[in-house]
């Protein structure tokens, strides 16, 4: 896929070079896998209906080497995605983003895009529940952080404020979600505490 400028990357990288470069392609996948498992559990028990949003892709070129084996050769992201997940729980619309960081002292705001924050503001303005699930890898901790707590930090960064949310603030203003079984990331228990 060609993203975000639509240009092909013709640079060939050697195997030894690739191993030295950090791999960001699966960043966030561990948390996403845990959330996906949690959502399957919620759905199978008829607790909530929450799904990962697909990213809209425009397919431009497809090769058909065999009738049964189409190969996508070129595609583009149609538009910027909003947040990762949305759904319904107890009659309320929920919408959230899942983020991971290896930082020890703060969560960088550069992990968000303007349109994502604006989207979450719209959800809150229409009485929906918007939040972020933030995982700190170094501490093996996952936090439920309400979007309303994010907004002041987002606004202040453009006025010379911090470009991150301190870990201590996330500990104080968010709620830690312990990993458990069978519900790995039981974020609905936090929603019950805060909103019902």
Q: Which residues are annotated as a binding site for Mg(2+)?
A: 82, 84, 97, 116
Structural domains for the chain: 32-55+80-195 (3.40.1350.10)
Give the number of residues written for the chain: 196
Burial of 149 (0-12, 13-18, 19+ CB in 10 A): middle
What is the residue-level pLDDT of the chain in tens, covering all 196 positions? 444 545 555 444 433 444 444 444 444 458 999 999 999 999 999 999 999 987 666 677 777 777 677 777 676 655 566 888 999 999 999 999 999 999 999 999 999 989 999 999 999 999 999 999 999 999 999 999 999 999 999 999 888 889 999 999 999 999 999 999 889 999 999 999 999 9
CA pair distance 123, 95, nearest whole angstrom: 7
Beta bridge pairs of residue 166: 106
Q: Which residue has the tokens 């996508």?
A: 72
Distance CA 88, CA 91 (A): 6
Q: What are phi and psi of 106, to 5 degrees?
A: -160, 170
The neighbour count for residue 35, using CB atoms within 10 Å, is 23
Pairing of β 92-101 and β 129-136:
parallel
Q: Do the beta carbons of residue 109 and residue 157 sit within 8 Å?
A: yes
* Residue positions forming the annotated binding site: 82, 84, 97, 116
pLDDT, position 28: 42
Confidence at residue 29, expressed as pLDDT on a 0 to 100 scale:
53
Q: Which residue has the tokens 């709620």?
A: 175
């Amino acid at each position: 896929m060609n993203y975000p400028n639509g240009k092909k990357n013709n640079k060939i990288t050697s195997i030894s070079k690739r191993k030295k470069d950090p791999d960001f392609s699966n960043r966030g996948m561990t948390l996403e896998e845990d959330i996906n498992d949690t959502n399957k559990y919620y759905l199978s028990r008829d607790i909530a209906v929450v799904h990962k949003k697909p990213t809209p892709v425009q397919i431009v070129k497809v090769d058909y080497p065999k009738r049964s084996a189409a190969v996508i050769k070129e595609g583009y992201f149609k538009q910027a995605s909003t947040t990762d997940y949305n759904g319904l729980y107890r009659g309320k619309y929920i919408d959230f983003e899942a983020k991971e960081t290896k930082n020890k002292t703060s969560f960088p705001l550069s992990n968000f895009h303007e349109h994502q924050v604006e989207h979450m503001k719209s959800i809150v303005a229409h009485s929906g529940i918007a939040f972020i699930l933030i995982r700190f890898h170094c501490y093996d901790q996952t936090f439920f952080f309400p979007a309303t707590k994010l907004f002041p930090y987002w606004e202040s960064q453009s006025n010379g404020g911090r470009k991150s949310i301190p870990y201590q603030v996330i500990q104080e203003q968010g709620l830690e979600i312990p990993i458990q079984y069978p519900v790995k990331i039981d974020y609905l228990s936090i929603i019950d505490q805060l909103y019902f």
